[in-house]
Amino acid sequence: MASTALRVVYNNLIEHVRKYKILQSVNALADWDELVMMPPKGAESRGLQKTVLASLTHDLQTSPLIEKYLSELVTTQDDQKIVVKNDSEFDEYEISNIILIHKEFIRNTKITKELVERASELSSRGYHQWVEARKKSDWTLFQDTLQEWVNIRKEMSLLIEPNQNIADTLLDEYDPGMTCEQVAQVFEDVKKELIPLIQAIRKKVEENPEKYSDASLLAKIQAGADELFDQKEPFPVEKQTELSKQVAQELGFDFEMGRLDVSVHPFSTSFSTNDVRITTRYNTKEFVNGLAGTVHETGHSLYEAGLNPLYAYQPVQSALGTTIHESQSLFWERHVGLSKGFWRKWLPVAEELFPYLKQKKLSVDDIYRSANTVTLNNFIRIEADELTYPMHVILRFEIEKGLLDGSISVADVPKVWNAKVKEYLGLDVPNDAKGALQDVHWSSGAFAYFPTYLLGAMASAQISASIPDFEKHIEENNYAFLKNWLNENIHKRGTVTLTSNKLLKEATGSELNPKIFVNYLKTKYSALYDL
Amino acid sequence: MASTALRVVYNNLIEHVRKYKILQSVNALADWDELVMMPPKGAESRGLQKTVLASLTHDLQTSPLIEKYLSELVTTQDDQKIVVKNDSEFDEYEISNIILIHKEFIRNTKITKELVERASELSSRGYHQWVEARKKSDWTLFQDTLQEWVNIRKEMSLLIEPNQNIADTLLDEYDPGMTCEQVAQVFEDVKKELIPLIQAIRKKVEENPEKYSDASLLAKIQAGADELFDQKEPFPVEKQTELSKQVAQELGFDFEMGRLDVSVHPFSTSFSTNDVRITTRYNTKEFVNGLAGTVHETGHSLYEAGLNPLYAYQPVQSALGTTIHESQSLFWERHVGLSKGFWRKWLPVAEELFPYLKQKKLSVDDIYRSANTVTLNNFIRIEADELTYPMHVILRFEIEKGLLDGSISVADVPKVWNAKVKEYLGLDVPNDAKGALQDVHWSSGAFAYFPTYLLGAMASAQISASIPDFEKHIEENNYAFLKNWLNENIHKRGTVTLTSNKLLKEATGSELNPKIFVNYLKTKYSALYDL
Question: Measured between CA atoms, how close is A58 to chain B, in angstroms?
Answer: 13
Share of chain B above pLDDT 70, in %: 98
pLDDT at site B218: 77
Q: Which of B35, B37, B57, B262 to mutate to test the interface with A (most CBs of A within 10 A)?
A: B37
Q: Is B33 on the interface with A (CB under 8 A)?
A: yes
Q: Nearest by CB to B42, which of A38, A257, A312?
A: A257
Element containing residue A132 per DSSP (H, E): helix A113-136
Q: Which chain A residues are within 8 Å of B255, Cβ to Cβ?
A: 39
pLDDT at site A215: 76
CA distance A443 to B250: 42
CA distance B499 to B181: 16
Residues 6+ apart with CB under 8 A from B354: B234, B235, B239, B287
Q: Which chain A residues are within 8 Å of B55, Cβ to Cβ?
A: 19
Partner-chain contact B274 A44, CB within 8 Å: yes
pLDDT at site B233: 83
**Beta partners for residue A272, in sequence order:** A275
pLDDT at site A228: 52
CA distance B249 to B253: 5
Q: Is A28 on the interface with B (CB under 8 A)?
A: no
CB proximity under 8 Å: B 157-176 to A = none
Closest chain B residue to A19 measured between Cα atoms?
A: B52
Burial class of residue B136 (count of CB atoms within 10 Å of its CB; 0-12, 13-18, 19+): middle
Share of chain B above pLDDT 90, in %: 91
**In this complex, how many residue pairs, one in chain A and one in chain B, have their CB atoms less than 8 Å apart?**
105
Closest chain A residue to B17 measured between Cα atoms?
A: A52
pLDDT at site B231: 64
Q: Is B275 on the interface with A (CB under 8 A)?
A: yes
In this structure, of A110-114, A411-415, B129-133, the range with the lowest mean pLDDT score is A110-114
Q: Is A47 on the interface with B (CB under 8 A)?
A: no
Averaged pLDDT for residues A309-334: 97
DSSP for residue A283: B
Q: Residue B217: pLDDT band by 50, 70, 90 thresholds?
A: confident
Tell me the per-residue pLDDT of A429-459, one tens digit each, with 9 for 90 and over.
999 999 999 999 999 999 999 999 999 999 9
Partner-chain contact B271 A40, CB within 8 Å: no
Helix A166-174 to helix A180-207 angle (10° resolution) is 70
Tell me the per-residue pLDDT of B36-60, one tens digit each, with 9 for 90 and over.
999 999 999 999 999 999 999 999 9
Q: Which of B19, B51, B275 to mutate to test the interface with A (most CBs of A within 10 A)?
A: B275
Query: Phi and psi at residue A386, in whole multiples of 5°?
Result: -60, -30
Q: Residue A224: pLDDT band by 50, 70, 90 thresholds?
A: low
Closest chain B residue to A258 measured between Cα atoms?
A: B39
Partner-chain contact B45 A257, CB within 8 Å: no
Closest chain B residue to A59 measured between Cα atoms?
A: B56
Q: Is B35 on the interface with A (CB under 8 A)?
A: no
Catalytic residues of A, by residue number, are: 297
Partner-chain contact B39 A275, CB within 8 Å: yes
Helix A450-466 to helix A321-330 angle (10° resolution) is 50
Tell me the per-residue pLDDT of A134-187, one tens digit each, with 9 for 90 and over.
999 999 999 999 999 999 999 999 999 998 999 999 999 999 999 999 999 999
Instruction: Give residue B133's identity as a one-letter amino acid code.
Output: A
pLDDT at site B451: 98
Closest chain A residue to B25 measured between Cα atoms?
A: A49
Tell me the per-residue pLDDT of B147-170, one tens digit each, with 9 for 90 and over.
999 999 999 999 999 989 999 999
Helix A389-405 to helix A180-207 angle (10° resolution) is 140
pLDDT at site B409: 98
Q: Nearest by CB to A274, which of B30, B45, B255?
A: B45
pLDDT at site A486: 98
> Is A230 a residue whose pLDDT tops 70?
no
Partner-chain contact B42 A275, CB within 8 Å: yes
Partner-chain contact B274 A56, CB within 8 Å: no
Nearest residue to B404 (alpha-carbon basis) of B137, B227, B168: B168
Partner-chain contact B37 A255, CB within 8 Å: no
Query: Phi and psi at residue A396, in whole multiples of 5°?
Result: -65, -45
H helix intervals, B137-281: 143-160, 166-174, 180-207, 209-212, 214-219, 237-251
Q: Which chain A residues are within 8 Å of B42, Cβ to Cβ?
A: 257, 271-272, 274-275
Q: Is B311 on the interface with A (CB under 8 A)?
A: no
Contact indicator for B280, B266 with CB cutoff of 8 Å: yes
Q: Is B449 on the interface with A (CB under 8 A)?
A: no
Burial class of residue A527 (count of CB atoms within 10 Å of its CB; 0-12, 13-18, 19+): exposed
Q: Is A24 on the interface with B (CB under 8 A)?
A: no
Q: Is A238 on the interface with B (CB under 8 A)?
A: no
ipTM of the complex: 0.94
> Is B220 a residue whose pLDDT tops 80?
no
H helix intervals, B437-489: 450-466, 470-475, 479-489
Q: Is B245 on the interface with A (CB under 8 A)?
A: no
Q: Nearest by CB to A39, which of B26, B256, B313?
A: B256
> Is B224 a residue whose pLDDT tops 70?
no
Averaged pLDDT for residues B112-131: 92
Question: One of B94, B148, B297, B304 is an active-site residue; which one?
Answer: B297
pLDDT at site A226: 53
DSSP codes of every residue in A51-116: HHHHHHHHHHHT-HHHHHHHHHHEEE-TTS-EEETTGGGS-HHHHHHHHHHHHHHHHHHHS-HHHH
> Is B2 a residue whose pLDDT tops 70?
no
What average pLDDT does chain A have?
A: 95
Question: Measured between CA atoms, how close is B42 to chain A, in angstroms?
Answer: 5
CA distance A297 to A282: 14
Q: Nearest by CB to B39, which of A37, A55, A256?
A: A256
N residues, chain B: 531
Q: What angle do CA A156, A157, A163 make, to 5 degrees?
A: 135
Radius of gyration of chain B (CA): 24
Tell me the per-residue pLDDT of B443-502, one tens digit each, with 9 for 90 and over.
999 999 999 999 999 999 999 999 999 999 999 999 999 999 999 999 999 999 999 999
Partner-chain contact B272 A44, CB within 8 Å: yes
Q: Nearest by CB to B42, which of A52, A53, A272?
A: A272
Question: Measured between CA atoms, how close is B383 to chain A, in angstroms?
Answer: 32
Partner-chain contact B271 A30, CB within 8 Å: no
> Is B275 a residue whose pLDDT tops 60?
yes
Q: Nearest by CB to B271, which of A22, A42, A258?
A: A42
Partner-chain contact B44 A272, CB within 8 Å: yes
CA distance B63 to B82: 20
Contact indicator for A424, A298 with CB cutoff of 8 Å: no
CA distance A219 to A159: 53
CA distance A290 to A337: 12
What average pLDDT does chain B have?
A: 95
Averaged pLDDT for residues B287-297: 96
Averaged pLDDT for residues B345-372: 94
Q: Which chain A residues are within 8 Å of B46, Cβ to Cβ?
A: 271, 275
pLDDT at site B272: 97
> Is B187 a residue whose pLDDT tops 60?
yes
Share of chain A above pLDDT 70, in %: 98
Partner-chain contact A26 B52, CB within 8 Å: yes
Partner-chain contact A30 B33, CB within 8 Å: no
> Is A385 a residue whose pLDDT tops 70?
yes
> Is A514 a residue whose pLDDT tops 60?
yes
Q: Nearest by CB to A272, which of B29, B45, B56?
A: B45
CA distances from B234 to A111, A126, B243, B365 (A): 63, 54, 14, 22
Query: Phi and psi at residue A277, in whole multiples of 5°?
Result: -135, 135
pLDDT at site B222: 75
Q: Which chain B residues are within 8 Å of A55, Cβ to Cβ?
A: 19
Question: Measured between CA atoms, how close is A68 to chain B, in angstroms?
Answer: 22
- Of residues A215 and A329, more confidence is placed in A329
Closest chain B residue to A53 measured between Cα atoms?
A: B23
> Is B219 a residue whose pLDDT tops 90?
no
pTM, two decimals, is: 0.94
Instruction: Give residue B23's identity as a one-letter amino acid code.
Output: L
